[in-house]
């Protein structure tokens, strides 16, 4: 059984091992694969693993031996799952491996926005504390989270874990979810999306990307937010109209944004957000702690093992 990993560097930067996966077949790992190389590299494979390398209908049609596509991530929009199902090819993903790592970065961004940590660290580095007449100084209002309202858009595993963490800081939680949740936590108010944007001191995005959620954060919804409110996005970059967000930040219509994702990654030089006022961007690494990637490697291997044993798990196109 030939196993081909198209973009192994995304998961493994040399600090993990492919050893357990190699025990399951004839393994070949490519660090990166361009669109022009996909068919040539995967043509003789029964199993292909990908993180962000796209497998569209035409590519899948040109791989006659393909039986299984394993997405080494939670989101699987890089694969044409319909075309795979028509061919009888199983497509799997890895849910929940990075939940707590993502939650951790949500609050890293929130703490930075609440205390302007980046700014004040640079101020100290530039000697402003040394030259201060007082033992303490600050240039921006410092925000206590207790009593503030956290609005969570998308209440799956990550959204739920964010709510638990926010509650520990004494925050009030409101949430919006596209699909009704059977057992809604009593301490959380589920409200309409526009109402969430207008009530929240912090809006954090955890929705999947669908035609309905694309650019859900637009000029209108940004206009509903308080001028003191923060927006955090560790979900999908395309949930946000980036020019509208840049305009809102630069005009002071909202107080700040913390983003781990953008609509195109790496960003184009003309993306308006890296230069926007009080906009702090990390390079899509919320998921990438060593602990999370170890779990991901394990689950990717177990998905393949289960498929080979005739009991596939985490199938997304069944």
- Where helices occur in the chain by DSSP H, the ranges are 19-22, 38-42, 57-61, 81-86, 99-115, 117-125, 157-168, 193-199, 219-224, 242-250, 290-308
Whether omega before 121 lies within 30 degrees of 0, making that bond cis, reads no
For helices 99-115 and 117-125, the axis angle rounded to 10 degrees is 60
Catalytic residue among 2, 253, 277, 284: 284
> CA–CA separation, 239 vs 27, rounded Å?
36
Largest CA distance in the chain: 74
Place of tokens 């953008």: 262
Residue 102 DSSP class: H
Count of C-beta atoms within a 10 Å radius of residue 134? 6
Give the CA angle between residues 260, 262, 263 to the nearest 5°.
155
Quote the tokens at residue 136. Answer: 């303490």
Catalytic residue among 19, 31, 144, 265: 265
Could you confirm whether 284 is annotated as catalytic?
Answer: yes
> CA–CA separation, 214 vs 242, rounded Å?
11
Could you confirm whether 206 is annotated as catalytic?
Answer: no
Could you confirm whether 120 is annotated as catalytic?
Answer: no
Per the CB < 8 A criterion, the answer to whether 107 and 163 are in contact is: no
CA distances to 7, 96, 203 from 257, rounded to whole Å, are 31, 25, 9
> CA–CA separation, 68 vs 51, rounded Å?
14
Catalytic residue among 148, 206, 236, 293: 236
Catalytic residues: 236, 265, 284
């Amino acid at each position: 059984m030939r196993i081909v990993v198209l973009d192994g560097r995304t998961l493994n930067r040399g600090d993990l091992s492919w050893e357990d996966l190699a025990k399951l077949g004839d393994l070949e790992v490519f660090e990166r694969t361009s669109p022009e190389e996909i068919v040539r590299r995967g043509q003789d494979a029964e199993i292909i693993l990908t993180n962000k390398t796209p497998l569209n209908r035409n590519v899948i049609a040109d791989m006659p031996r393909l039986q299984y596509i394993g997405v080494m991530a939670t989101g699987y929009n890089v694969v044409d799952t319909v075309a795979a199902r028509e061919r009888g090819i199983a497509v799997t993903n890895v849910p929940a491996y990075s939940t707590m790592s993502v939650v951790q970065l949500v609050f890293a961004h929130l703490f930075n926005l609440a205390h302007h940590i980046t700014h004040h660290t640079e101020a100290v580095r530039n000697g402003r504390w040394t030259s201060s007449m007082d033992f303490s100084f600050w240039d921006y209002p410092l925000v206590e989270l207790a009593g503030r309202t956290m609005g969570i858009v998308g209440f799956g595993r990550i959204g739920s874990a964010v709510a638990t963490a926010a509650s520990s800081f004494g925050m009030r939680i409101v949430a919006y979810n596209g699909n009704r949740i059977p057992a809604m936590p009593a301490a959380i108010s589920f409200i309409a999306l526009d109402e969430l944007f207008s009530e929240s001191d912090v809006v954090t995005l955890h929705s999947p990307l669908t035609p309905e959620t694309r650019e859900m954060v637009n000029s209108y919804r940004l206009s509903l937010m308080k001028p003191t409110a923060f927006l955090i996005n560790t979900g999908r970059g395309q949930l946000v109209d980036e020019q509208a967000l840049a305009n809102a930040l630069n005009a002071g219509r909202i107080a700040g944004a913390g983003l781990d994702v953008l609509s195109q990654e790496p960003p184009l030089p003309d993306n308006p957000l890296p230069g926007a006022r009080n906009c702090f961007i990390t390079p899509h690494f919320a998921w990438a702690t060593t602990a999370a990637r170890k779990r991901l490697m394990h689950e990717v291997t177990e998905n393949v093992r289960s498929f080979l044993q005739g009991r596939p798990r985490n199938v997304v196109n069944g």
